[in-house]
Amino acid sequence: MLGGGGYRQKLIQVWNDWQVSVLVLLSLTLQLLFLSTAGARRRAQPSWGKKTYFWALYIGSRFITTYSLGILSRASTGDANADIQAFWASLLLFHLGGPDDFTALSLEDNKLWDRRCLELFIQVSTTLYVFSRYVLDPGFRRFIVPFALIFSAGVVKYVEQVVALHHATMEALIKSVLGKPDAGPDYADTINRLDGIMRSGALPSLDIKNERVDRPNSDPEANVQVKDYSEDEQQVAIKTIRSAHSLFSRFSVLFADGIFSFEDRQESQAMFLRKDARWAFKIVEIELGFAYDRLYTKASVSRGARLAVRVCSLSLTLAAGLWAALAILRASQYRQRHRCVTYALLAGAALNDAAILAAHAFSVWSLVHGDWLSWCSVMLVKRRRWSASMAQSNLVTFCLRKLPSNNDSDPAPLSSSFLLRRLLLGGGRGGVQQQDASPAPALSTTLASMDEFQKLFERRSLLDQVRSGSFWSKYKHTKYVPVSEKLKDFIYAQLEEKVRRLSEYDKRMERERERERKRVRAPSPSPSPSPSASATTPTQTGTSTTTTTSSMYSILTDCRGDQVMKDEEISNLSWSLEKKEFDESLLIWHIATDLRFREEAQAAGAAASAASAATVDQRETRKHMEIARELSNYLYYIMVVVHPLMLSSSTTMAIKRCRDTCAEARRLFLKDHVMAAAGKGKGDRRRAVGEDNAHRVLLDVDTPLHAAVVKGDKCKSVLWDGCFLARELRQSMADPGRRWRVVCKVWVEMLGYAAVHCGGYQHAERLKDGGELITFVCLLMTHLGMGKHYRTEVGDAYAHLSPYSAAA
């Protein structure tokens, strides 16, 4: 019998014999998994499992392939199967080229293109070293040609990956759209000519014409093309794809915080005005699909080069596979295992290239410049390119987590909550012993000294942080809701309404300017200018007057709910929006919206159970309630889970404000829960705080003054400001329909403000996690002419000088 050492030696021997075969098959398996699932990354909701899966594939495939090449470089040349194993080195290099649909885990990986270039040199050198060791082996000569073919295909794919990473960097993105430097019209030359005319004794006439053509010729609504219903569905689908690509080509620099001109605004407005929300969201979805391809796949390489690489790689792989298969069939010295592994690797390489070529041919990129794929254009448009969902996080729900339940009979699991109960009841070490005594004296004594209570709560909070590792890690239970059509319709209707109002305002201003120009052109009895004045002062007969629309767009872009209050003539709620940081206003409105929703949803549920059917107004109010709640929870999720910098200029302050608010709310809930659990009757026990009555606990606290007046400004909690606003909403607007319509509009404005003020890098980074609604809103606002990126409003100005005599 073999001892422990014998089994160990046997196991080592088996592993040494099988390790190369296992590793290359594992590398092939990872490549096939990449090939079949990489495209789903853009459509999947962000989760721990998804992140781990793609991280393991991305890191594991490169590690295993590199490790296998290292083993082959040290393998013995005396084995009869050594030459066929050396042929595997070219196939491993082919694997390192990676799939077309996955080049980077994040945008940070694109910056490492130079490091990947160094890796290319090392891996190619290692493969050539393996080749040099076996090239003189007579048994390896049959594999020289297929080795060279697969090696060439692998190098081409690897180079393509490096180029794609380089083109996907923000620097390359900016460079691709900036073009050549523009010095503009020659200012010095114009001034010199002006001085020359004035020195000659003539009065110069300076007529300045802007590049921009003002209304009515630049009216975006005048250029809106009404849909031609004679077109079939395929033609409409092709136009949609090409329109999305045109927008992507023009506005892709948004992800690098680029700038746009009035021409971009006019053309995009002409495309989007008078269109429905379904069309607008779909064209932005396709546009973001192009952006994802540019940043996270090999699509950044030119289409012609990609097609050439695909055809060349597939041809080389098929030729090498056929040559190697015939060579193996003629040789008899190879083990059956090595034959099967080689066949699997060759078949996997051919399948990989064929699938990539088919995916490239049947993609929206093929419809950008050609019509041969028109028969499946409708299917390509309908294909989903993002998760179509938005995350939901709620402050009250988070603060209620891990509170002891009403059915807890064992006090031990309550940890510090059980200690609080003992503290409030004065039970001492023996716990609660005097069941027949009234707890009121003990309660009043304990509540009079809140220092000990606060210390115990802080101790519990610190313990939770140590257990979880991070205060915000508990948000891993974030739930997701679909982005409904009613939400899209409401958001787009509000954005389009802003543009329509601006258009009407601009038309009125244009009519006033036209009347002013006519008044100026009318003859007047004013005397001619004196010769002395003519020699020193030029007459400006034309000026570059920009419309006030530009400033109005900027004003509406900076609105975050305060414009809704002005439109609705509600002044007593402006304190929650004006002169406050955005994350502070968002948190206050999140609390108020949640409390109002909880209270009114309970009342509406009780009324619905008594009534037979809801009226139209009630259904509309319910729709607005759901929209407001979803947007409130979504923006709260963005602020505390995804990236506080997306919504706040100060990440530290935003996080501190959320933490302090959560700490104050949880302290209140713990205190109320313990006091309810201390009651003797069952009726008192049902008062324990939970999801169904948390709003009552908060709203029962009277808030006659703002919290900062009472507590100072060290604690940044806005809990009581949110409760105060919840009461003000009910008192200011007694009609629930109007109240929730206003709240919805406020949240849409906040969403728009957050979308256009969020950095383009953050928008691009979220594409890999299924996309975000806030990115859709950012692009919609940009295409409708709003946003902070429009910096060119009049274009170049051209000065025309015409001298004339002073005597004239």
Q: 216 preceded by cis ω (within 30°)?
A: yes
Other beta carbons less than 10 A from residue 484's beta carbon = 15
Q: Looking at residue 242, what is its pLDDT? A: 93
744-768 b/e (C-beta count within 10 Å ≥ 16 → b): bbbbbbbbbbbbbbbebebbbbbbb
- For residues 370-387, average pLDDT: 88
Per DSSP, 694 falls in state H
- Answer yes or no: is pLDDT of 185 > 50: yes
Give pLDDT tens digits for 650-682: 677 888 889 899 999 998 888 887 777 766 444
425-446 pLDDT, tens digit each = 444 434 433 444 444 444 444 4
What's the pTM? 0.84
User: Which has the minimum average pLDDT: 120-134, 210-224, 248-262, 554-568?
Assistant: 210-224
- Which run of H or E residues covers position 266? helix 262-272
**pLDDT score recorded for residue 647:** 67
Residue 649: per-residue pLDDT? 61
Q: What is the pLDDT of residue 11?
A: 85
In the prediction, which pLDDT does 390 show? 94
More confident residue, 610 or 23: 23
Tens digit of each residue's pLDDT (9 = 90 or more) over 486-533: 999 999 999 999 888 877 776 777 777 777 766 765 554 544 444 444
CA gap 83, 33 in Å, rounded: 28
Q: Give the DSSP per-residue string, 750-795.
A: HHHHHHHHS-HHHHHHHGGGT--HHHHHHHHHHHTT-STTEEESS-
Q: What is the mean pLDDT of residues 768-785?
A: 93
d(CA 28, CA 61): 9
Distant-in-sequence, close-in-space partners of 250: CB < 8 Å, separation ≥ 6: 260, 264, 267, 268
Instruction: Tell me what pLDDT residue 604 has.
Output: 77
DSSP codes, 372-385:
TTGGGHHHHHHS--
Most confident of 366-375, 507-516, 681-690: 366-375
Question: In this predicted structure, what is the pLDDT of residue 256?
Answer: 87
Tens of pLDDT, residue by residue over 337-366, are 889 999 999 999 999 999 999 988 888 998
Q: Are the C-beta atoms of 662 and 773 separated by less than 8 Å?
A: no
Per-residue pLDDT for 376 more than 90? no
- What residue has token string 């410049």? 369
Per-residue pLDDT tens over the stretch 403-432: 665 444 333 334 444 444 444 444 443 443
Of 647, 800, 653, nearest to 715 (Cα)?
A: 653
